[in-house]
Structures are given as structure tokens and as C-alpha cells.
């Protein structure tokens, strides 16, 4: 049983979900009475997660390409090429939130010389930030996303004095022991952002998290919560791992969580 300082959500949560049109809104009720994540932050005396706002690290630039976005993290300009063809090739708010948090909390989460695995890396923004912060990064995603992912990571890290990042295919729940045998691969941090939404791969995603999260590994997961399935997945994570909410970004409905393996 997780020892919870306070439940992460009120007894009844009413939230606005994403709908097909901007004018249309739909609301859904969720009762997370069995979800028992604790709340934690280094500077908080109340035991509550810190409330933050995603900063405007997006930097406007004149560009002939509508699909390129410019960001600044850890003193470096990062240029990201997006694609409208795949969900995984767009920068979602969870990646911005976790990139900002890692940049601002380097003493709490020191990535220098650490082995970091990002699952569902998408455009690669977070992996690039982790690389800038000194980590040995392996960025993974589905095969159809890898070309754009590799392009973004290469163009933003090739001229920097840092550990060279690696890009690899990872299909959640498939071939984990063959492609990433535990005898060879151990990671200090697992990063995941906006990997949970309205899709059918949540059980393989959870199995992938469990596979890679071993004693000594820290899972950092940032997600925009849209649907009841998102909260149900959170409940499953809380039931398996020691889970704390580090920060919340209310204006974007993003929650940032830390999870570690329970000690026997």
C-alpha cells in the first residue's frame, strides 16, 4: 500500500475533455477514490505538489517552414521539425513541462553522466534537453516516427560537446528482452511524456514501464490528463510503483509524476 500524504485529486473531478471541434466541449466525471499517489516537492512545506506554469520557451523565428518550432532550454536554442502525419511527431505539453522541470531542478534530478531512456520520444525535444544536461540518452519510438526523431536529435546535438544520443525502435510490450536484455541495459531514468491518451496500447505501455523500472531507476512521467482512461492508467501506476506528484501545470492540465520500484 502506498503511504499517501493526500490524494492527488479531489473526490470528484470534473474536467473538460478534448473534442472534435473547438466550439464543442464535453465533460466527464471520474471518482479516483482508490488512487493513492502521494505528493512531493523539495521546497514545499505543505506536502502538496508545486503548481507551475509552462513558460514560453518557444522562441518566434521567421521561417519558411510552418512545421519548425524554436525553443530555448539550458541556454541552447533547439529547432524542432514537426509532422502532421503522426501524433508522435508533434510537441505536446507534457514534453514542455518535463523539459522545463528538468532544466529548473538539476540538483534534484542530476542527469549528468546518467543513462536515460525516453519511451515515446516523438519529436525528440525532451531527449535533446536531457542530452544537453549531460545524460547518455536513448530515444525510442515507433518505426514510422524514427526518421523525424533522428533528424531532430542529430541536428540539435551534432555540434555540442556531450554524450552522443542513440535513437532506437521500441514498440511497447514487444521484444523487450530481445532488444533490451536486462543483463546489458539498465537505466537511471525513464522519461515519458504524453504517452497516455485515448488509445489501445496502455497495457503494453504499463508492461514496458514495469520492465525498464528496476531498483535504482526513476520514472518521470508528465501527461496532459484528458480522459477517464488517463486517470485509470494513473491508478494502475500508483498500485504498482511508489508514486509521487512532483508538479502540476493547471493551465494545460499536465501532471508530472515520479515513480520508483517498491522495496520488498
Query: Which of 45-54, 77-86, 143-152 tops mean pLDDT?
Result: 143-152
- Pull the grid cell for residue 156: 540539435
Predicted pLDDT of residue 128: 97
- Tell me, rounded to whole angstroms, the distance of Cα 253 from its chain centroid: 14
- Cβ(9)–Cβ(35) below 8 Å: yes
The CATH number covering residue 118 comes to 3.40.50.150
Domain holding 233, by residue range, is 87-261
State which H helix or E strand residue 181 sits in.
none
In this model, does residue 120 exceed pLDDT 90?
yes
Average confidence (pLDDT) over 176-203: 93
| Model pLDDT for residues 193-230, shown as the tens digit of each residue | 999 987 889 999 999 999 999 999 999 999 999 889 99
DSSP result, 51-116: E------B-----S-TTEEEEEETTEEEEEE--TT-GGGS--HHHHHHHHHHHH-TTTS--TT-EE
Average confidence (pLDDT) over 20-42: 46
Q: What is the CA radius of gyration of the chain?
A: 18
How many domains does one find in the chain?
1
In this model, does residue 42 exceed pLDDT 90?
no
| Model pLDDT for residues 96-117, shown as the tens digit of each residue | 999 999 999 999 999 999 999 9
CA nearest 254: which of 49, 10, 28, 21? 49
State phi, psi for 50 to the nearest 5 degrees: -70, 145
Q: Who contacts 202 (Cβ-Cβ below 8 Å, separation ≥6)?
A: 196, 229, 233
Predicted pLDDT of residue 87: 56
**Domain for residue 134, yes or no?**
yes
Query: Mean pLDDT, the chain, as a whole number?
Result: 81
**Domain for residue 190, yes or no?**
yes
Predicted pLDDT of residue 67: 53
In this model, does residue 63 exceed pLDDT 60?
no
- Pull the grid cell for residue 54: 509552462
Lowest mean pLDDT among 5-14, 44-53, 65-74, 196-205: 5-14
The span from the CA of 262 to the CA of 264, in Å, is 6
**Domain for residue 5, yes or no?**
no
In this model, does residue 32 exceed pLDDT 90?
no
DSSP result, 136-157: EEEEEE-GGGHHHHHHHHHHHH
Predicted pLDDT of residue 49: 81
Lowest mean pLDDT among 22-36, 84-98, 152-166: 22-36
The span from the CA of 260 to the CA of 103, in Å, is 21
CA nearest 16: which of 240, 247, 230, 226? 226
**Domain for residue 231, yes or no?**
yes
Predicted pLDDT of residue 46: 52
Predicted pLDDT of residue 39: 58
**Domain for residue 44, yes or no?**
no
- Cβ(219)–Cβ(250) below 8 Å: no
Sign of the torsion formed by the C-alpha atoms of 110, 224, 231 and 251: positive
Amino acid at each position: 500500500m502506498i503511504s499517501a500524504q493526500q490524494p492527488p485529486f479531489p473526490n470528484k473531478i470534473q474536467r473538460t475533455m478534448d473534442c472534435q471541434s473547438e466550439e464543442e466541449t464535453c465533460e466527464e466525471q471520474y471518482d479516483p477514490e482508490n488512487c493513492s499517489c502521494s505528493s512531493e516537492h523539495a521546497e514545499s512545506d505543505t506536502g502538496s505538489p508545486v503548481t507551475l506554469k509552462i513558460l514560453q520557451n518557444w522562441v518566434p523565428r521567421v521561417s519558411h517552414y510552418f512545421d519548425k518550432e524554436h525553443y530555448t532550454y539550458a541556454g541552447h536554442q533547439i529547432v524542432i521539425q514537426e509532422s502532421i502525419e503522426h501524433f508522435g511527431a508533434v510537441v505536446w505539453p507534457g514534453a514542455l513541462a518535463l523539459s522545463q522541470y528538468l532544466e529548473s531542478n538539476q540538483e534534484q534530478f542530476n542527469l549528468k553522466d546518467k543513462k536515460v531512456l525516453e519511451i515515446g520520444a516523438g519529436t525528440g525535444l525532451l531527449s535533446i534537453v536531457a542530452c544537453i544536461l549531460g545524460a547518455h540518452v536513448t530515444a525510442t519510438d515507433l518505426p514510422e516516427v524514427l526518421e523525424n526523431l533522428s533528424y531532430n536529435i542529430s541536428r540539435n546535438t551534432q555540434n555540442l560537446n556531450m554524450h552522443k544520443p542513440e535513437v532506437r525502435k521500441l514498440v511497447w510490450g514487444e521484444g523487450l528482452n530481445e532488444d533490451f536484455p536486462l543483463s546489458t541495459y539498465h537505466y537511471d531514468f525513464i522519461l515519458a511524456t504524453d504517452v497516455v491518451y485515448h488509445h489501445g496500447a496502455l497495457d503494453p505501455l504499463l508492461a514496458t514501464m514495469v520492465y525498464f523500472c528496476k531498483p535504482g531507476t526513476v520514472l518521470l512521467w508528465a501527461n496532459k490528463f484528458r480522459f477517464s482512461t488517463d486517470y485509470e492508467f494513473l491508478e494502475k501506476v500508483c498500485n504498482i510503483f511508489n508514486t509521487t506528484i512532483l508538479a502540476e501545470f493547471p493551465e494545460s492540465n499536465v501532471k508530472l509524476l515520479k515513480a520508483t520500484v517498491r522495496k520488498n
